[in-house]
Structure 1
Amino acid sequence: MAMFVGALFVFLLPLAYSPGPGNMFFAALGARSGVAATLPANAGYHVATLLLTVLVGAGFVAVLDPASTLFALIKTAGSIYVLWLAWKMATSGRSSADVQNSGAGFFDGVMLLVLNPKAYVIILLMYSQFAGFHFSSMGERVAVISLVFTVNNLLAFLLWTLAGDGLGRLFRSETSARRLNLVFAATLAGVAVWMLLG
């Protein structure tokens, strides 16, 4: 079991820790409002991750074909949602009221996962690559893969959030904070374009 978990972690390492919609969103939000403001959205994202991964692994949700119309619709909706998040960040200020209101909620995290085509592709790859390992039951296999995937994602997001928070602490003034907001907004917009074209 330890070898399986280690191999799965190594497989997921470049996928979970590379810049993507989730990592960039939480880095930007961490820089903007601090780690605490990201916790509700982080919870939403990872509850949705665990549920989706279990449902896919148990066969209740068919993984979308990347060539299907539905997958294209999810990509488009996800890109639009990330662009909207980028717009919110670009147009926000640094007043205490703005910072208090800039935290993302549980539902934002859920939507970020549901509309993230990268998540569907990774779940498909993960199950296809690690289906051959022998477990005592399908339930054990799905539980182990889903937990490792979700916990690994959570660690990646927390690292990106802490990095963003650290960067945000360097930009305390209104002017520098606005510039940082624009940088992260542009990054999120770039991710949205990548999601749409990828």
Structure 2
Amino acid sequence: MILFVLTLLAFLFPLAFSPGPGNMFFAALGARYGLKATLPANTGYHVATVLVTVLLGLGFVALIDPASGLFFVLKTAGSLYVLWLAWKMAMSGRAQAKSDVANAGFRDGVMLLLLNPKAYVIILLMYSQFGATGDFSAGERVLLISLVFTLNNLLAFLLWTWAGDGLGRLFRSESGSRQLNLVFAAVLAGVAFWMMLG
């Protein structure tokens, strides 16, 4: 089991810790709201990650064929959702205003995962490599893969959020906050296009 987990982590590490849509999204939220205020969004994303990863591992893979119309709808909806979040960030004022903190909620995290086609591609790729290996029952394998995948992503997202929070602390004045909002709104818009074109 240890060798299986280490091999899986070696496969997942560059995918989870390199700059990608999820990492950039949470870095932007961290800069905007601070690490603590983004924990509900991070929780929502990772609760959804476990559920989706388990469902795909139990045989729902055929529903998320990258050539299907459903995949295109997910890609388009996810991109539009992240663009909407970018617009909200661009239009907001000083970081951590009380009315803004609620924007980084559990639902936002869930929606980001559910509408992120790249997450499905990574999960499908992961199962294609590890879905039939190891001395486990199918159910044990799916559960182990889902937990390792989710915890690895959670650690990566927390690190990126923390880095964004550190950057955001440098710009917490009114004018600095406004500039940082525009920069990270542009980053989120880039994430939306990345999701659409990927």
Shorter-chain TM range is over 0.9
User: 1:197 offset after TM fit, Å?
Assistant: 1.3
Aligned to 1:129: 129
CA pair 5-77 structure 1, distance change in 2 beyond 3 A: same
* 1:1-198 alignment, distance < 5 Å: 1-60=1-60, 62-94=62-94, 97=97, 100-198=100-198
Q: Which amino acid is 1:37 matched to? A: A
RMSD: 1.5
Relative to the length of structure 1, the TM-score reads: 0.94
Q: Which amino acid is 1:8 matched to? A: L
Distance 1:35 1:43 in 2: 12
Mapped contact 1:86–1:185 kept (Cα < 8 A): yes
Mapped contact 2:92–2:100 kept (Cα < 8 A): no
Distance 2:186 2:116 in 1: 18
Q: Identity of paired residues, percent? A: 74
Q: CA deviation digits over 1:8-32, x for unaligned, max 9?
A: 1111112112222221121111111
CA pair 145-95 structure 1, distance change in 2 beyond 3 A: closer
Mapped contact 2:30–2:168 kept (Cα < 8 A): yes
State the 4+ residue runs in structure 1 displaced beyond 4 angstroms: none
CA pair 96-109 structure 1, distance change in 2 beyond 3 A: closer
Mapped contact 1:64–1:71 kept (Cα < 8 A): yes
Distance 2:91 2:132 in 1: 49
Q: Which amino acid is 1:54 matched to? A: V
Relative to the length of structure 2, the TM-score reads: 0.94
Mapped contact 2:95–2:177 kept (Cα < 8 A): no
Please list every run of 5 or more consecutive structure 2 residues that lacks an aligned counterpart in the other structure.
none
* Number of matched pairs: 198
User: 1:98 offset after TM fit, Å?
Assistant: 5.1
Q: Which amino acid is 2:15 matched to? A: L
Distance 2:176 2:26 in 1: 19
User: 1:53 offset after TM fit, Å?
Assistant: 0.5
User: 1:82 offset after TM fit, Å?
Assistant: 0.6
